[in-house]
Structure 1
Amino acid sequence: MSEEFLAGGHSADEVVRIGDTVHRAPASPFAARVLSHLESVGYPYAPRHLGVDDRGRDVLTHLPGRTTDHPTQRAEGAYARGGEMLRALHDATAGHPLAGGAECVVHGDPGPFNTIFRDGTPVAFIDWSGCAPGTRLDDVAYLAWTWCVQSQGNVPIADQAAHLRELRDGYGDIGPDDLVAAMVGRQTRIVDHETTNRDDPSLTATRREHAENAIRWAASDRALILEHRELLLAALR
């Protein structure tokens, strides 16, 4: 059966569709265990891990749909659903041995580029290579930033604030100051980490260019949050 290259996702080097399955560069045994646990508890917002193929690639169920990069591609209620999906992940792993003593297992990179939408409604997170024990707030802050805040795309700041409120309400009780501070914290960590990569001569030119783009993205969105911090906080109260 032929392989069809799949665009989308955020970090996988190789992702192909073969029939009703997706084959991708292996993530980690931990990610496979997390997906198996989520299947066992009936978590519906993730692909199922089906094993490894003869080339050592992870085999996952194919989830039809598309990723999004602008609010115009998302349906009414999409932000609340995204928050609910992430909350369900955290609740399904809280207190489990996979969390390793942390609050829960976090997806780690639950941006809209790692979320499958159908008719504008999110249905599943993909690319679980970054899942790990972690804190709820850090994960939901990244979700909130990447889904709701964007300095590019001509999205009115009032709309961004409304999306942020909807997503937070979908997830559950998180304090406004805590959420905004955590969003800025995630952006700052990306700027700092990717600055190190950009300035590392041992990395390829392609990787250093990726680092420069990531710095520009995170720094621009961070500046937007800091400029409109009070408006965003008011929307969350």
Structure 2
Amino acid sequence: MIEEPLTGGNNALEVVRVGDTVRRARDAGAEFASQVLLYLESVGYPYAPRYLGIDEHGRDILTFIPGNTTDHPTQRAPGAYACGGRMLRDLHETTAGHVLAAAAECVIHGDPGPFNTVFQRGMPVAFIDWSSSRPGNRLDDLGYMAWTWCIQSQGRVPIDQQAQHLRELRDGYGDVEPEQLLGAIVRRQTSIADVEAVNASNHNLTATRRQHAEAAIAWATADRKLVYEHKALLLSALA
């Protein structure tokens, strides 16, 4: 079997393509993720790879979904933000009340950024890297998605364009109050900054991992500053 290393997702694990499948090293979230993917397949949720078991090397086997991830609005087609919002809402609605959600609202993806979304011709078609999925609060998931898809202090994206993308994503997801959504965005940004601050000072981690933490802190704090500076505009777009 020819193994082709895959890049584009937001993880540091071994991920390779073998024919029409993806082989992914298992981590702490692998068992729960496999249960989620099997359930989603059973109910026909179309926006996720199918789980096919474990290979001879102890890696998860998933169906390969052709396409690419994105990191800038110019790589996304009109309608992409609303479509992404609907994909996330469908996940939350599909898992609400299920045993996998435990006592929480639903199962959340946990990391539904554009770096963990496969796009085809600029339109999102599937979420990948489900190892962060867990029982949770749907607004936490939406806040992270809204941040990572719509808010960026880098890349020279005009703020009014960012506000429009935020509106489109929120409208695709469904009715969420503007203050609630911005609050969820800031909470996720703050959480990332706080967690990575601990990692950055942990000298038991590798130098590469600490550098990653420093970059994550800079990313989260710069984007949070942008939200604070343009809060009135963002709220107006969401109204």
TM-score in terms of structure 2 length: 0.98
Deviation at 1:3, TM superposition (A): 0.3
Task: Give the distance between the partners of 1:14 and 1:8, measured in 2 at CA.
Answer: 12
**Mapping of residues 1-237 of structure 1, within 5 Å:** 1-27=1-27, 28-237=30-239
Q: Secondary structure in 1 aligned to 2:53?
A: strand
Contact 1:44 1:124 in 2 (8 A): yes
Query: What is the Cα deviation at residue 26 of structure 1?
Result: 1.2
Cα deviation, 1:106-165, whole Å, max 9, x if unaligned, reads 000000000000000000000000000000100000000000000000000000000000
The 3-state SS of whatever aligns with 1:60 is strand
Give the paired residue count: 237
Q: Give the deviation of 1:101 after TM superposition.
A: 1.0
What root-mean-square deviation, in Å, do the aligned CA atoms of Structure 1 and Structure 2 show?
Answer: 0.6
Quick check: 1:12–1:25 contact (8 Å CA) kept in 2?
Answer: no
Letter in 2 for 1:55: H
Check 1:133–1:113 CA distance in 2 against 1; reply closer, same or farther (3 A cut).
same
Q: Percent of aligned pairs with the same residue?
A: 66
Q: Which runs of 5+ in 1 are unaligned?
A: none
Gaps in structure 2 of 5+ consecutive residues: none
Q: CA deviation at 1:78?
A: 0.1
Query: CA–CA distance in 2 between the matches of 1:32 and 1:13?
Result: 16
Instruction: Decide whether the 8 Å contact of 1:190 with 1:214 is kept in 2.
Output: yes
List structure 1 segments (4+ residues) > 2 angstroms apart after TM superposition: none
Residue identity matched to 1:4: E
The alpha carbon displacement at 1:12 in A equals 4.1
TM-superposition CA deviations, 1:34-56 (whole Å, max 9, x none): 00000000000000000000110
TM-score (ref. length: structure 1): 0.99
SS at match of 2:107: strand
After TM superposition, give the deviation of residue 202 of structure 1 in Å.
1.1
Give the superposition deviation at 1:214.
0.3
In structure 2, distance between residues paired with 1:135 and 1:234: 25
Quick one: distance in 2 between partners of 1:55 and 1:229?
49
